[in-house]
Amino acid sequence: MENSKVEDLLSKINTLLDEAGTKINAADNLQILEALRVEYLGRKSQLIDILKGIKDAEPSQKAKLGQRSNLAKSQIENKIQEKIKQIKEKELKAIELQEEIDISIPPSGIKKGHKHLITTTIEEVEDIFMRMGFEVHYPYAIDDDYHNFESLNIPPGHPARDSWDTFWTEQGKIAITHTSSMQNRILSQQKPPVRAIVIGRCFRNEATDARHEHTFTQVEGVYVDKGITLPDMLGTLKEFFSKYYKKDLAVKFTPDFFPFVEPGGMMSLSCILCNGEGCKVCKQTGWLELLGCGMIHPKVLEMAGIDPKTYSGFAWGFGLERLIMLKNNINDIRLFNSGDLDFIKQF
Ligand code: DAH
């Protein structure tokens, strides 16, 4: 075979190699690659034709062309394999991207809840008192004897302690029986005028029924300044209740005993259901007895470092659930913590 023919064939192999390389690079799926494999490496491919055509070549020419075309074959095969790998990787990535879980996406199909009636009422009560110049405090759920009792003029052994069925911890601490537990801290930490409310959960170790719960919410209030009198207290509470019940209400003070106030008493509200006319809820009296209150006992002021000769003040404490029950016609206090969704969803 003429040497120039051999050269022609060699350059043809190079051209085929280039051509195949370009097409393989451009291929974007496995079917195209398979077609290219058939075209360039199959039995009817041009490379095979070339090999068939060198039967009459001299052994050295045969060897040269054979080696060159075999090399071209394996180069094309490698390129195809490489490309297959690339395409598969790309496909996998696309799948991964599709299946990737984005944990920041809000869940769909789950119904949003809403704030509990007690929470929204706490916010409402805070709002009313803050507009009246009171600051808001929260109690410690577990407190000590001094803050829950002693600083409120209830020394150890005092019979008044029996009024509060108390949960004690093994270390002698108390699950607070009332939010009055913050009075001493508030009064000793700031100079009068002091206007503050304390809202939080209280605990009583007593049997439960429609009116009593072991865990409930109390709103304590204190107001200390020069020249504060009982009418200031009645005016303040009348204002609060009229805002909360959205109607003008009358208030009444009936003497009663609490160790931390003198005089102490119960405050009643003209019945919000019958407007004082007399109904089942107010037992035909026209009044609802709602809270304990009074003028802060001089001893309590003294224990907080306030001179009772210069300053006076009032304090009150009411149960939040009772207020809500009257407003929303709820007849069992145990419903609040029952987890009964039918009840909760109504508000
Ligand atoms: N701490 C009392 C209780 O839980 C309620 C109370 C009554 C608070 C009179 C007061 C008050 O501040 O002056 O039974």
Q: Which sequence spans correspond to the domains of the chain?
A: 3-99, 117-344
Chain segment 284-326, per-residue pLDDT in tens? 999 999 999 999 999 999 999 999 999 999 999 999 999 999 9
Which residues partner with 296 through β-bridges?
261
Distance 255 CA to ligand 1 centre (A): 13
Query: Does ligand 1 come within 6 angstroms of the Cβ of 182?
Result: no
Which atom of ligand 1 is least distant from the CA of 218?
A: 4
Q: Whose CA is nearest to atom 5 of ligand 1?
A: 317
Of 134, 137, 180, the residue with max ligand 1 atoms within 8 A of its CB, to mutate for a pocket test, comes to: 180
pLDDT for res 224: 98
Separation CA 209–CA 124 (nearest Å): 27
Q: Is 30 exposed, middle or buried (0-12, 13-18, 19+ CB in 10 A)?
A: middle
Residue 164 is among the residues annotated as catalytic for this protein: yes
How many other C-beta atoms can be found within 10 angstroms of the C-beta atom of residue 169? 9
Separation CA 31–CA 33 (nearest Å): 5
**Residues 6+ positions from 224 with CB-CB distance below 8 Å:** 187, 192, 193, 194, 296, 301, 306, 311, 312, 313
Residue 315 is among the residues annotated as catalytic for this protein: yes
pLDDT for res 106: 81
DSSP state letter for 212 = B
Q: Whose CA is nearest to atom 13 of ligand 1?
A: 293
In angstroms, the Cα distances linking 105 to 42, 102, 109, 110, 217 are 52, 6, 12, 13, 36
pLDDT for res 97: 86
Distance 201 CA to ligand 1 centre (A): 14
Distance 254 CA to ligand 1 centre (A): 14
Query: Does ligand 1 come within 6 angstroms of the Cβ of 204?
Result: no
Which atom of ligand 1 is least distant from the CA of 317?
A: 8
pLDDT for res 109: 80
Chain segment 133-182, per-residue pLDDT in tens? 999 999 999 999 999 999 999 999 999 898 899 999 999 999 999 999 99
Pair 226, 192: CB distance under 8 Å: yes
Asked if the model's pLDDT at residue 60 lies above 90, the reply is: no
pLDDT band at 113 (very low <50, low <70, confident <90, very high): confident
pLDDT for res 116: 95
Residue with tokens 């069992």: 332
The share of the chain scoring above pLDDT 90, in percent, equals: 75
Q: Whose CA is nearest to atom 12 of ligand 1?
A: 316
68, 315, 316, 322: which is the annotated catalytic residue? 315
Asked if the model's pLDDT at residue 56 lies above 80, the reply is: no
Write the class of the CATH domain 117-344.
alpha beta
Pair 200, 218: CB distance under 8 Å: yes
pLDDT for res 343: 95
Which residues partner with 143 through β-bridges?
174
Asked if the model's pLDDT at residue 93 lies above 80, the reply is: yes
In angstroms, the Cα distances linking 67 to 38, 42, 45, 75, 115 are 21, 18, 17, 12, 82
Of 228, 234, 293, the residue with max ligand 1 atoms within 8 A of its CB, to mutate for a pocket test, comes to: 293
Query: Does ligand 1 come within 6 angstroms of the Cβ of 261?
Result: yes
Asked if the model's pLDDT at residue 218 lies above 90, the reply is: yes
pLDDT for res 284: 95
Cis peptide preceding 263, ω within 30 of 0:
yes
pLDDT for res 153: 97
Query: Does ligand 1 come within 6 angstroms of the Cβ of 258?
Result: yes
Distance 316 CA to ligand 1 centre (A): 6
Residue 204 is among the residues annotated as catalytic for this protein: yes
- Looking at every residue in the chain, the average pLDDT score rounds to 93
Of 181, 198, 228, 258, the residue with max ligand 1 atoms within 8 A of its CB, to mutate for a pocket test, comes to: 258
> Averaging pLDDT over each range in 13-27, 96-110, 197-211, which range is the top one?
197-211
pLDDT (mean) for 249-276: 96
pLDDT band at 9 (very low <50, low <70, confident <90, very high): confident
Distance 221 CA to ligand 1 centre (A): 9
Prediction pTM value: 0.69
Separation CA 180–CA 137 (nearest Å): 11
Asked if the model's pLDDT at residue 55 lies above 80, the reply is: no
